[in-house]
Amino acid sequence: MAEQSANSADDRLARLAAPAVTEAEATPPRHPRGGVAARIFSGPLPWLLPAVGALALFYLYPIFEAVRLAFTDARLFDTETQLSMRSINSMVGSSTLGVILRNTLTYTVASVVGQIALGLAIALLVVRAERARLRGTLVLRTIVLAAWVIPAIANGIIWQLLFSEAPFGAINSALRMAGVAPVAWLSDPGNAMTSAVIATIWQGTAYSMILLYAALKTIDPALYEAAAIDNARPWERFWFITLPHLRAALVVNAILILIMTLNMFDTILALTGGGPGRATEILSLYAYGTVFQNFELGRGAALSMLLLVISLSLTVVLIALLPRERRG
């Protein structure tokens, strides 16, 4: 039925347009079939209501509730709460928050830059290989993307097995075989952050790769042909053709990855649990622990609002970097 109308849409239009118009003039505007139901469904409200209602209930309401809770001294299992600034004061005043924010900054910047850089490098490589008609590009793309499909919690477990300092840890036992001293990947505070970043980049790169690959494919090949005639060097082609054309895709990509990384919870929880000490504890883990381990609901709500404010303000900053025509 649908395909039929797809094929004959235009001539059906031609056949039906004229009588429909005269009919409309002759009789007052009336909805084709059914009365009330059709009229209700002609406006946007009933169409939007289910989805928007669900979002209002499970996103909008909780955000307001979190703001309210942040201004109370609520604890998870007490119903008695009083308005107070204690939660916010204790959050801002604690020396831990500084450590957590520094961890969050290090982890997010390193992971985001790593994912975009590696994703771009692989995308360029795949495009270059496709242009030269080399075999195996599809295999490489599939392998990289498969990492993205692995659940983040499993990603944390896999990298824990790789970084493990026990005899069965893959990397250390390989190093030992090569005669190199093993590294304290997870038990040394400095290394633990590096390990967490590596695990995050390994999994997340696929997303950047596929977005940037799609964007690279939209660049007009004629530009590169013109550059070849002008004897442009490879880095000149990259700098003057590729990068400017990728700007919008890079910014969109940066926004999406930034949000995913800032909110990352699973990989770090399974890999280091935030440790050793607080060495890899980022804001999301800290907020979780505050609410569900220390039961300080008010303070946890304040921390989660801080996470939300950071996400939104960084997004706004990045949107300002979009080329003009893509904004708005």
Partner 1 sequence: MMVRSRSERAADWAVYAAMLVLALAFLLPVLWLVSLSVRTQAEVFLGAARVIPEAPTLDNFARVLRDGGFQSYIWNTVKLASLGAAGAVALAAPAAYALSRMAFRGKGPLMLGILSVQMVSGLVVLIPLYRFMDRLGLLESHFGTTLLYIAAGIPVTIWLLKVSFDAVPRSLDDAAAIDGLSRFESFALIILPLALPGLISAFILNLILNWSQFLIPFIMLSADDKWPISVAIFRFAGSTSAATTQLLAAACLLAILPALAIFVILQRYILAALTAGAVKE
* 79-108 residues near partner 1, rule: CB under 8 A: none
Among 194, 275, 311, 322, binds partner 1 (CB under 8 A): 311
Least Å distance, CB 239 to partner 1, is 19
Which span sits near partner 1 by CB under 8 A: 98-106, 187-195, 206-214, 236-244?
A: 206-214
Residues 162-181, one symbol each (x = binds partner 1 by CB under 8 A, - = not), give x---xxxxx-xxx-xx----
Q: How many residues does the chain have?
A: 328
If you ran DSSP here, which 8-state letter would residue 242 be given?
A: I
Backbone angles phi, psi at 72, to 5 degrees: -130, 175
**C-alpha–C-alpha distance, residues 128 and 269, integer Å:** 38
Least Å distance, CB 98 to partner 1, is 20
| 218 binds partner 1, rule: CB under 8 A | yes
CA within 13 Å, CB half, 6? 3
Structure tokens at 107: 């982890």
Among 154, 180, 226, 317, binds partner 1 (CB under 8 A): 154
If you ran DSSP here, which 8-state letter would residue 294 be given?
A: S
Please list every residue from 62 through 81 that binds partner 1, using CB under 8 A: 62-63, 65-66, 69, 76
Neighbouring residues of 73: CB distance < 8 A, sequence distance ≥ 6: 81, 82, 84, 86, 87, 298
Say which residue the tokens 């505050």 belong to: 290
Among 25, 26, 28, 44, binds partner 1 (CB under 8 A): 44
| 117 binds partner 1, rule: CB under 8 A | no
Structure tokens at 78: 């007490």
Decide: 105 and 99 in contact? Cβ < 8 Å. no
| 226 binds partner 1, rule: CB under 8 A | no
Least Å distance, CB 196 to partner 1, is 15
Backbone angles phi, psi at 105, to 5 degrees: -65, -50
| 277 binds partner 1, rule: CB under 8 A | no
Least Å distance, CB 63 to partner 1, is 7
Least Å distance, CB 241 to partner 1, is 16
**C-alpha–C-alpha distance, residues 165 and 181, integer Å:** 12
Least Å distance, CB 215 to partner 1, is 5
| 150 binds partner 1, rule: CB under 8 A | yes
**C-alpha–C-alpha distance, residues 164 and 169, integer Å:** 4
Provide the angle, in degrees to the nearest 10, between the axes of the packed helices 243-262 and 297-319: 180
DSSP string, 125-156: HHHHHHHTT-TTHHHHHHHHHHHHHS-HHHHH
Residues 237-256, one symbol each (x = binds partner 1 by CB under 8 A, - = not), give ------------x--xx--x
Residue 213: other Cβ atoms inside 10 A: 21
Nearer to partner 1, 189 or 289 (CB): 289
Which span sits near partner 1 by CB under 8 A: 102-110, 130-138, 222-230, 235-243?
A: 130-138
Nearer to partner 1, 89 or 142 (CB): 142
Say which residue the tokens 């450590």 belong to: 99
Please list every residue from 281 through 300 that binds partner 1, using CB under 8 A: 284, 287-288, 291-292, 297, 300
| 120 binds partner 1, rule: CB under 8 A | no
| 263 binds partner 1, rule: CB under 8 A | yes
**Count of residues of this chain found to bind partner 1 when the rule CB under 8 A is applied:** 111
